Structure 1
Amino acid sequence: MADISNSTQSYSTDMFWTDIQNASEYMNVTTQSLDPSGTTPPRLRSLIFPVVFFALIVLANIISLGAFLVEKRLRTYNNYFIINLTILDLLVGIGLGAVIEHSYIGRYPFSQNACKVISGIFEGIVNASNINVVVICADRHQAVYDPINHYISRSKRKAVIINSLPWVIGLSFWIGYVTVWEFVVDFDNGPHCIQRFHLSPWANMIQSMATFFLPLAIIAVLYVRIFIKIRKTVERRNNKKSTNFADLHLSSSKDTEMTGESVSSTSHTGSFSDITETGRKEGTTSPSRKETKIGNSGQEVSTSASCRGESTAEMTKATRTLLLIVIAFVLTWIPISVIGLIYTIEPRLVVTGLPNDVFIFFGNLKYGNSLLNPISYAMSQPLFRATIIRMFSCKRGPSQVNQPR
């Protein structure tokens, strides 16, 4: 059993030097494997995809930040979380610049000490981007289940504090898991900046859990609860509208019947005194009804003021944005995460059974999340789209005149 374990470890270290470990960590985008000595010349045509991919991520997130900077109406409480996610995705795109340099020269461009530090920071930022999706879900969950307190407590200070959590959690975990661990054991990263946890299937599984599976589980629970709550709220409103319509129809019928009866009784009696007496009674009761109506309207105003919360349009826009972000997160991360899970159970299935190009594609795909997020904002927020169009058409919008609270 020990011999099998040792052979598996040796096989993983030797054969996985760039195909699995280097691709997992740095999105190896070459169409051929680089040998451990780093002497294999790169193919220039293989750099077309990573260069375009890198440029699109950086450009899309810079445009998104520019839209938030130009249009003040986009700087709402909900969009503070989107701005934080945009900054994280921009840093992910910038960090991929080392991947292009690595692929071009055939080795990691910096020293091993820099490799340990930069790798910890880069993986921390990637993880913080995923954790930020969890934070957005948690905030939406509170907005749906406790709308009054959520609306009352909304502030820029609260948004900044909450948005700092992904940075603290992501960087703390990964700097400890990569940088500190490798410095303590004095790990040799080699010419391709291999991380220590990739050499152990179970250590690799821990990082997969922290990066994808744990955030996915939390997101799934929160979003299902949000969906159920919103669905119940919509059904309740529809039932209330139908009930109010039925009551209105019934009351109108009753009023018509009562009016008919009073006219009929008056025409039968023909007594002027009865009409005068009825008029006196109506005159005495009318002011009290007016007072009651005024009192009720005042109570309604105070109640509406105390129950103030997000508008329906604002909640719909935030929920739609969250849905698109979650879909992008799942679609881009689930393939490589499942591959990592299979590698943990049986490394040979991935080493010998998965073509290198396929693994490289799925390794690239997870970083595509940073490209799909800005597209999600544009799809879910009309004002965001209009701002981007105005930026490229160099038109001055009316948003600088009328600013919302």
Structure 2
Amino acid sequence: MADISNSTQTYSTDMFWTDIQNTSEYMNVPTQSLDPFGTTQPNLRSLIFLAVFFALIVLANIISLGAFLVEKRLRTYNNYFIINLTILDLLVGIGLVIYVEHWYINRYPFSQNACKVLTGIFSGIVNASNINVVVICADRHQAVYDPINHFISRSKRKAIIINSLPWVIGLSFWIGYVTVWEFIVDHDNGLHCTQRFLLSPLTNMIQNNALFLMPLAIIAVLYVRIYIKIRKTVGRRNNKKSTDLTDLNLSTAKDNEMTSVNVSSTSHTGSFSDITETGSRDDTMISSSSSRNETKNGNIGQEISTSTSHRVESTAEMTKATRTLLFIVIAFVLTWIPISVITLIYTIEPRLIVPSLSLEAFTFIVNLQYGNSLLNPISYAMSQPLFRATIIKMFSCKQPSQAN
């Protein structure tokens, strides 16, 4: 009886492990790799679609870098973060060439050692791209909540240091989590370069958190705070304008009332010529005094306004940066939520993915996450008129403006 029980337990464990491994390959490789006999031929239409899709990612980011290169006015402090994101997205597109080759020949094109190294580097670059969105949000958060210190501390050196953080964090984590770990345990990646972390629900959830869930949580908190702060600032400005207008109307009414009383009082005590002469002297004195006060107050107000405006970024610059961030965040969320949900379901119960989800739907969801690297350049063109105009000039063979 004990032997039967042990045999049943061993059988169940083996079956579960096989199911996990098959699902892991399904989560990681092209659909034809599910055929254990290798009889399924690559779908030419799907292959062309993937090749065009990944080529567009590379092309769009090359054009973006070209725009930043030829137009000096685009090389602002805020756009240094965009340039860094563009470089990362370009590398993502280049790295996907291996995926197309994998799809075409129905196996990973390089050795297992190369699989371990290249997968760690590629995953690190993808994660660095997502972390870069977090960095942009953090910089915008400081610009909104501490505008003076943020503006004073802005420099090319600071931008380079901050932009290096996504590279260091992403590559350090993923090279350790994939490359180092798989070399230590001597993991067999198989024919299709299956990662070790996919074979365990816990480790698979860790990679899902690192790639999407943690960046999403930080971005959500920062952007909500930015939105609330901007709404409050706009509300205060509107209230101030309304209050200033009301005070101006009340002041004008009081001045008219006082003038009427003075004229009426004088008409009972002196002749018309006295009124004219006295009124002229009084008007001259009042006008001169008012003129001096207004000039003095105007100069002080102008000095304060000029001093403040030189220590914070302009409204146009802040609006452009915030709009760009909004489009980038929307692209990030829309492209990464589906694969994150699929990974979460797989972690809980793999059989809900296989065979419940069709291969076509899963292929679309897997590739959608890389669409983030294509939508980002589109976001820059939508949010920055100068960026859009520069691209148009590049393709119309017109010389871009060299103004600073």
Provide the TM-score with structure 2 as the length reference: 0.91
Q: Counterpart of 1:25?
A: none
Please give the secondary structure, in 2, of the residue aligned with 1:351.
Answer: coil
User: Is the 8 Å Cα contact of residues 39 and 106 (structure 1) preserved in structure 2?
Assistant: no
User: Partner amino acid for 1:20?
Assistant: M
Whether 1:343 and 2:366 are equivalent positions in the alignment is no
Describe how 1:139-150 pairs up with structure 2 within 5 A.
139-150=139-150
Q: Counterpart of 2:79?
A: 79
Q: Counterpart of 1:157?
A: 157
Deviations 1:239-277 (A, max 9, x none): 111111111111111222222222223333225667766
**C-alpha separation in 2, matches of 1:289 and 1:2:** 97
Q: 1:43 Cα deviation (Å)?
A: 3.0
Q: 1:347 Cα deviation (Å)?
A: 1.4
**C-alpha separation in 2, matches of 1:2 and 1:141:** 55
Q: Counterpart of 1:11?
A: 19
User: Partner amino acid for 2:163?
Assistant: N
Further displaced range: 279-288 or 93-102: 279-288
User: Partner amino acid for 1:158?
Assistant: K
Deviations 1:29-84 (A, max 9, x none): x5x34446767542323211111101110111111111111111111111111111
Whether 1:380 and 2:383 are equivalent positions in the alignment is yes
Q: 1:304 Cα deviation (Å)?
A: 2.2
Q: Counterpart of 2:244?
A: 244
Describe how 1:40-59 pairs up with structure 2 within 5 A.
40-59=40-59
User: Is the 8 Å Cα contact of residues 18 and 34 (structure 1) preserved in structure 2?
Assistant: yes
Residues 36 and 202 (structure 1), Cα distance of their counterparts in 2 relative to 1, 3 Å cut: farther
Deviations 1:155-186 (A, max 9, x none): 11111111111111000100000001011111
Whether 1:21 and 2:24 are equivalent positions in the alignment is no
Further displaced range: 348-357 or 316-325: 348-357
User: Is the 8 Å Cα contact of residues 18 and 36 (structure 1) preserved in structure 2?
Assistant: no
Aligned match for 1:329, one of 332, 343, 346: 332
**C-alpha separation in 2, matches of 1:147 and 1:60:** 33
Q: How many residues were matched structurally?
A: 393
Please give the secondary structure, in 1, of the residue aligned with 2:354.
Answer: helix
**C-alpha separation in 2, matches of 1:351 and 1:170:** 30
User: Is the 8 Å Cα contact of residues 115 and 193 (structure 2) preserved in structure 1?
Assistant: yes
**C-alpha separation in 2, matches of 1:338 and 1:210:** 14
Q: Counterpart of 1:304?
A: 305
Please give the secondary structure, in 1, of the residue aligned with 2:136.
Answer: helix
Whether 1:198 and 2:206 are equivalent positions in the alignment is no
Further displaced range: 168-177 or 352-361: 352-361
User: Partner amino acid for 2:313?
Assistant: E
Further displaced range: 91-100 or 35-44: 35-44
**C-alpha separation in 1, matches of 2:144 and 2:24:** 48
Question: CA RMSD of the aligned region, Å?
Answer: 2.2
User: Is the 8 Å Cα contact of residues 40 and 106 (structure 1) preserved in structure 2?
Assistant: no
Q: Counterpart of 2:178?
A: 178
Q: Following superposition, which runs of at least 4 residues in structure 1 exceed 3 angstroms of deviation?
A: 1-6, 32-41, 271-295
**C-alpha separation in 2, matches of 1:95 and 1:145:** 38
Residues 36 and 83 (structure 1), Cα distance of their counterparts in 2 relative to 1, 3 Å cut: farther
User: Partner amino acid for 1:385?
Assistant: R
Deviations 1:7-45 (A, max 9, x none): 3222111x23532233xxxxx3x5x34446767542323
Further displaced range: 93-102 or 148-157: 148-157
Q: Counterpart of 1:320?
A: 323
Whether 1:255 and 2:255 are equivalent positions in the alignment is yes
Please give the secondary structure, in 2, of the residue aligned with 1:360.
Answer: helix
User: Partner amino acid for 2:27?
Assistant: I
Describe how 1:211-230 pairs up with structure 2 within 5 A.
211-230=211-230
User: Partner amino acid for 2:391?
Assistant: I
User: Partner amino acid for 1:246?
Assistant: T
**C-alpha separation in 1, matches of 2:132 and 2:12:** 41
* 5+ long unaligned stretches in structure 2: 1-8
Q: 1:283 Cα deviation (Å)?
A: 6.2
Deviations 1:272-329 (A, max 9, x none): 6677667667766766655544443343234224423122221111111111111110
**C-alpha separation in 1, matches of 2:351 and 2:171:** 32
Q: Counterpart of 2:4?
A: none
Provide the TM-score with structure 1 as the length reference: 0.91
**C-alpha separation in 2, matches of 1:17 and 1:165:** 31
Q: Counterpart of 2:235?
A: 235
Q: 1:351 Cα deviation (Å)?
A: 2.1
Residues 347 and 384 (structure 1), Cα distance of their counterparts in 2 relative to 1, 3 Å cut: same
Please give the secondary structure, in 2, of the residue aligned with 1:19.
Answer: helix
Further displaced range: 291-300 or 347-356: 291-300
**C-alpha separation in 2, matches of 1:329 and 1:144:** 22
Q: Counterpart of 2:3?
A: none
What percentage of aligned pairs have identical amino acids?
72
Please give the secondary structure, in 1, of the residue aligned with 2:353.
Answer: helix
Describe how 1:64-143 pairs up with structure 2 within 5 A.
64-143=64-143
User: Partner amino acid for 2:28?
Assistant: Q
Please give the secondary structure, in 2, of the residue aligned with 1:20.
Answer: helix
Please give the secondary structure, in 1, of the residue aligned with 2:355.
Answer: helix
Please give the secondary structure, in 1, of the residue aligned with 2:230.
Answer: helix
Q: 1:368 Cα deviation (Å)?
A: 0.4
